[in-house]
Copies of this chain bind each other. A is one copy, B any other.
Amino acid sequence: MREVRRSVYFVTQNKGKFREAAQVTAAFGISLKQLNTAKLEIQADRLTDVATFAAKTAAESRGSAVVSEDAGFFVDALSGFPGPYSSYAFKSIGTGGILRLMRGVTRRSAHFSAAVAYCEPNKRPVCFTGTAEGFVSKHERGSQGFGFDPIFVPNDGDGRTFAEMRIDEKNTLSHRAKAFAKFSRWYTSDRLT
């Protein structure tokens, strides 16, 4: 592995996402810088399509290398809802809406997924994914993290929701950390995909 000390822009307006991602990449010697501007997101059922399109357009318009991330919360009993549009679902019906839809539902399996895309100007984007399997809790628990974290219990944890964990704890389990770790390994290696 080469010694790399480089900084890369992460296009996001979400401070929570940025803090989580920066901690992961720092362990690989990559300094993330937040590019706090709106990115162009397409409507697509696949997170990888959303992330790669956003990275491509941001890299071209800015003229520099960027990473972009798209994540979603997928509840099996709701046919994957809220999925790629989790952000809007969170703003409108919130965690309470998901709990209402899941009232009386015994099949509570769900997962978070993330797609991280890296793009340089005039190059093709490269995309990395991560998933955290778990289930929807009966009630909200915890105040850390963001989005649907208070109602998601990862299978590989100790029963706490994501919102009951510190960033470094969540980063040992989360979809986002897995995707950013894959990106970081690739970025600090020979970059063959």
Residues of chain A at the chain B interface (Cβ within 8 Å): 40-43, 45, 50, 78-85, 88-89, 91-93, 97, 100-101, 103
Who on chain B is nearest to A104 by CB? B100
- What is the bound-complex CA distance between A92 and B85, given in angstroms? 11
Residues of chain B lying within 8 A (CB to CB) of residue A103? 100
- What is the bound-complex CA distance between A83 and B93, given in angstroms? 11
Among candidates B41, B79, B93, residue contacting A91 with C-beta atoms closer than 8 Å = B79
Among candidates B40, B80, B100, residue contacting A92 with C-beta atoms closer than 8 Å = B80
Identify the 6 closest CB pairs spanning chains A and B, nearest first: A81-B92, A41-B43, A85-B85, A79-B92, A81-B93, A78-B93
Residues of chain B lying within 8 A (CB to CB) of residue A78? 92-93, 97
Tell me the smallest distance from the CB of A73 to a CB of chain B, in Å.
Answer: 12
Tell me the smallest distance from the CB of A28 to a CB of chain B, in Å.
Answer: 30
- What is the bound-complex CA distance between A103 and B103, given in angstroms? 12
Among A78, A81, A92, A103, the one with the most B-chain Cβ atoms within 10 Å of its Cβ is A92
Tell me the smallest distance from the CB of A91 to a CB of chain B, in Å.
Answer: 7
Who on chain B is nearest to A39 by CB? B43
